[in-house]
């Protein structure tokens, strides 16, 4: 069993972890860290307390897994604070190539760079057959405001598919988040169903179900994460061809 205690520190989220990391607690630990990333702190600092132990080096790959899942979106750095022995174990396992390690939380906080500049616009949508249309209008207005017309068609397509899936298949009133960072435009849709999406191969006679393959086709990266509000967030990152505006 793993116990996670969350504390905000200077814009970062410090996760104090204790307990045994093994096959039975791996998913719980992974999803707990992924939920922290959804709120977009400046960093996730995982503090492995004295009561933390891992059943083997394979289970420690959870840190690399989380790093890979959050590196594209929301782009939150992951750090580990641990004692000398655990840091040595992480280094020997290769995890240190992806996740930096520190002996104290203070040193980890000091190592966080300036947060990536971004623009962000979020709206709560209703549960309605008109919701996809409202979402498309929100995207058009936002892209015009931010001065990124080159991404409009792809963004409208992705938002339309994700919002329509949320309404039709989860019975949710989705929320939609748009983000602009240098070189990328991100879309994130929250719904109330915790079931993670599955990308299924398309067949010529398959009715519907083409949303995620379309999202995958136009996106640099996409994925889904459990949300601290319950349910999940499905996100997609679209590449921009220029250095997009960096401030509102």
**In 3D, which of 229, 173, 221, 231 has the Cα closest to residue 68?**
221
Position 199 scores a pLDDT of 74
Question: Mean per-residue pLDDT for 60-79?
Answer: 93
Distance CA 40, CA 167 (A): 25
Position 1 scores a pLDDT of 87
pTM of the model: 0.85
Question: What distance, in Å, lies between the first and last C-alpha atoms of the chain?
Answer: 44
Question: Mean per-residue pLDDT for 130-136?
Answer: 96
Task: Name, in order, each residue with C-beta under 8 angstroms of 32's C-beta and a sequence gap of 6 or more.
Answer: 2, 4, 15
Question: Mean per-residue pLDDT for 141-150?
Answer: 95
**CATH number attached to the domain at 2-111:** 3.30.750.24
CATH class of 119-239: alpha beta
Question: What percentage of the chain reaches a pLDDT higher than 90?
Answer: 79
Predicted confidence (pLDDT) per residue in 175-214, tens digit: 999 999 989 999 999 999 999 988 766 555 554 446 788 8
Domain ranges of the chain: 2-111, 119-239
Average pLDDT taken over every residue of the chain: 91
Question: Mean per-residue pLDDT for 119-138?
Answer: 96
């Amino acid at each position: 069993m793993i116990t996670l205690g969350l504390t905000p520190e200077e814009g970062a989220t410090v996760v104090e972890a204790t307990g045994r990391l093994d096959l039975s607690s791996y998913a719980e630990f992974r999803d707990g860290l992924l939920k922290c990333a959804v709120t977009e702190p400046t960093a996730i600092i995982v503090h492995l307390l004295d009561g933390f132990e891992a059943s083997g080096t394979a289970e420690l790959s959870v840190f690399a897994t989380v790093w890979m899942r959050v590196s594209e979106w929301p782009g939150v750095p992951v750090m580990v604070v641990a004692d000398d022995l655990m840091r040595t174990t992480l280094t020997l396992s290769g995890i240190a190539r992806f996740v930096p390690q520190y002996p104290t939380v203070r040193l980890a906080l000091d190592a966080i760079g300036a947060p990536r500049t971004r623009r962000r616009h979020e709206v709560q949508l209703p549960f309605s057959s008109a919701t996809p249309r409202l979402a498309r209008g929100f995207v058009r207005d936002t892209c015009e405001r931010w001065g990124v017309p080159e991404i409009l068609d792809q963004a409208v397509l992705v938002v339309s598919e994700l919002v329509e899936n949320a309404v039709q298949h989860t019975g949710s009133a989705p929320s939609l988040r748009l983000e602009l960072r240098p070189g990328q435009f991100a879309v994130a849709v929250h719904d109330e169903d915790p079931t993670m999406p599955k990308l299924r191969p398309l067949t010529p006679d398959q009715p519907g179900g083409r949303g995620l393959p379309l999202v995958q086709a136009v996106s640099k990266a996409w994925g889904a994460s459990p949300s601290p509000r319950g349910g999940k967030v499905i996100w997609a990152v679209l590449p921009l061809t220029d250095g997009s505006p960096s401030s509102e």
